[in-house]
A = this chain, B = another copy of it.
């Protein structure tokens, strides 16, 4: 195989798996596609509603983007399309600028998908996938939980049949409370029944059917079809009793046909307004998608290529933008369903696209009487599985800094909306990390008898020599902590006349930047003034390479020892008894 073909296959994975495609894979992918299609139809409509967009845009976002991902994506099971959190973020970004229901609103959502696609593509081409790592696991967990709550609360208005709005928990709840007098009782009854039914389908249907002799597989498929049943039954009820005459909101006219070709707006003003939101949506969407893809790939011992995933998702979003959709990403629930249903290649996604395309062509007139409350119930039941507060307990027990980051992310997302919440989480994680590294743990160490191993004198029974002070600094020496080490050493040797040597043990020093180098030079001079020799030990290769380029090693009063044991042997240490730990 030529090198350029190999390269092409890396960027267009379909060339790789497509060549090995056969009848068995086709059958498996096909079955998975049917199940996912049934699940996706109500979800697509519901998420479009959540994003404040016409229902058909949810369907459009589930056609071409799936084909694009099938060509460029690397995950075998990821199902791409509109998802809850990204729909919420779209509503937040676009809702700041125009009114729901207007053409500008829809066009802004399309442009957002286009921008997000460009950003993802650029990140993939320039291999910037590592940027997503700065969104720590706890911050993501907190953000998803808070978003789930925001989404569920935002749908309450459809269950109650009132007209309320708001981007934050406080606004939404206040708006709902103000409208309690206008509740539509039929909508409420319908909404509560649908929600209760869907909860029961999710939790109770499978054991119920198995107990009645159905096979596990049949029970599982029935569970997935629950939302479709709710849609069918409530649509029939709505049609039969003409519920819209009684104030029940229905979906109404959904244009029939395949997605139209759309062109995103190329307006500098709109782009700069949407850019920040597009970056956040891209990164959040990528992180969610990649973690689902990695979890599923690991189960079959496959690997995914994160940088190529960026390209796959970028292509999907651009496909969404040119076909009247809005931002998409890999969804958790549908990908698991796809995986469980036996999808073997990204072709399953392409087949799903065909299914949704058929729905857009032929089923939309049937959706006319579908009550919006049913879609809201679908959303509420779906997103409440995202809400998970165990991360709070886990981080509280393990790491207070992570706990603070999670709590801030949750509270700020609820209180000030998704963009503020996730940005604050990222900034806080980075800030707390920098703060910790700016005040590193510094230990004075001694020899553990009978070994060549040195440990903290405050934690272990060790031997030390009174004229040699060995300090192990547990951090890279860089600008944020350079002065800290200086202060520590000056305080340690002040008023201690016995000290003749200070050994800086560096196994934990992973970098010494220019500020750190200047600090070492200052420490060397300061100790020299006091007649104390400075030595280093266990300096790592890459750091030694750099130090050799500076003048520090010439100026150093002592030596650089390969190991701390070699240092203690060379400095002729008469080893004393274990010291008072306060010495």
Which A residues from 473 to 518 make CB contacts under 8 A with B? 474-476, 478-484, 490, 507-511, 513-515, 517-518
CB atoms of A479 and B137 under 8 A apart: yes
Which A residues from 523 to 577 make CB contacts under 8 A with B? 526, 529, 538, 540-542, 546, 549-550, 562-563, 565-566
By a CB distance below 8 angstroms, the chain B residues around A266 are none
Is A179's CB within 8 Å of the partner chain B?
no
How many Å from the CB of A425 to the closest CB on chain B?
11
How many Å from the CB of A286 to the closest CB on chain B?
13
CB atoms of A456 and B398 under 8 A apart: no
CB atoms of A541 and B136 under 8 A apart: no
How many Å from the CB of A534 to the closest CB on chain B?
16
Q: Which of B399, B456, B479, B563 contacts A451 (CB 8 A)?
A: B563
Q: Which of B453, B510, B540 contacts A452 (CB 8 A)?
A: B453
Q: How far is the CA of A478 from the CA of B398 in the complex (A)?
A: 13
CB atoms of B514 and A137 under 8 A apart: yes
CB atoms of A136 and B479 under 8 A apart: yes
Q: How far is the CA of A395 from the CA of B134 in the complex (A)?
A: 27
Is A417's CB within 8 Å of the partner chain B?
no
The verdict on A474 contacting B514 (CB below 8 Å), with A136-B479, A451-B565 known, is: no
How many Å from the CB of A229 to the closest CB on chain B?
37
CB atoms of B133 and A438 under 8 A apart: yes
Give the residue name and chain of the B residue nearest to A453 (CB): B563
Could you say which of A71-79, A107-115, A186-194, A426-434 contacts chain B? A426-434
Give the residue name and chain of the B residue nearest to A490 (CB): B303
How many Å from the CB of A194 to the closest CB on chain B?
36
How many Å from the CB of A461 to the closest CB on chain B?
12
User: Copy number in this complex?
Assistant: 2
CB atoms of A514 and B398 under 8 A apart: yes
Is A298's CB within 8 Å of the partner chain B?
yes
The verdict on A134 contacting B480 (CB below 8 Å), with A397-B550, A540-B474 known, is: yes
CB atoms of B130 and A438 under 8 A apart: yes
Interface size on A, residues (CB 8 A): 71
CB atoms of B441 and A136 under 8 A apart: no
Q: How far is the CA of A298 from the CA of B530 in the complex (A)?
A: 12
Q: How far is the CA of A414 from the CA of B566 in the complex (A)?
A: 50
Q: How far is the CA of A398 from the CA of B517 in the complex (A)?
A: 9
Is A446's CB within 8 Å of the partner chain B?
no
Is A401's CB within 8 Å of the partner chain B?
yes
Q: How far is the CA of A342 from the CA of B429 in the complex (A)?
A: 48
How many Å from the CB of A475 to the closest CB on chain B?
5
Is A309's CB within 8 Å of the partner chain B?
no
The verdict on A513 contacting B136 (CB below 8 Å), with A398-B549, A398-B550, A429-B479 known, is: yes
Which A residues from 413 to 460 make CB contacts under 8 A with B? 429-430, 433-441, 443, 448, 451-453, 455-456, 459
Interface bits A125-138 vs B (CB < 8 Å: 1, else 0):
00000100111111
Q: Which of B429, B451, B475 contacts A510 (CB 8 A)?
A: B475
CB atoms of B475 and A134 under 8 A apart: no
Q: How far is the CA of A4 from the CA of B463 in the complex (A)?
A: 40
Give the residue name and chain of the B residue nearest to A391 (CB): B514
By a CB distance below 8 angstroms, the chain B residues around A398 are 514, 517, 546, 549-550
By a CB distance below 8 angstroms, the chain B residues around A538 are 507
A-B contact pairs, 18 of them (CB 8 A): A133-B481, A134-B438, A134-B479, A139-B479, A399-B546, A402-B513, A429-B479, A437-B476, A441-B510, A441-B542, A443-B540, A448-B562, A451-B565, A452-B565, A453-B562, A453-B565, A456-B541, A507-B508
Known: A430-B430, A433-B479, A437-B511. 17 other contacts (CB 8 A): A133-B438, A133-B481, A136-B478, A136-B513, A136-B514, A394-B514, A397-B549, A398-B514, A398-B517, A399-B514, A402-B515, A430-B434, A440-B510, A443-B540, A452-B452, A474-B540, A474-B542
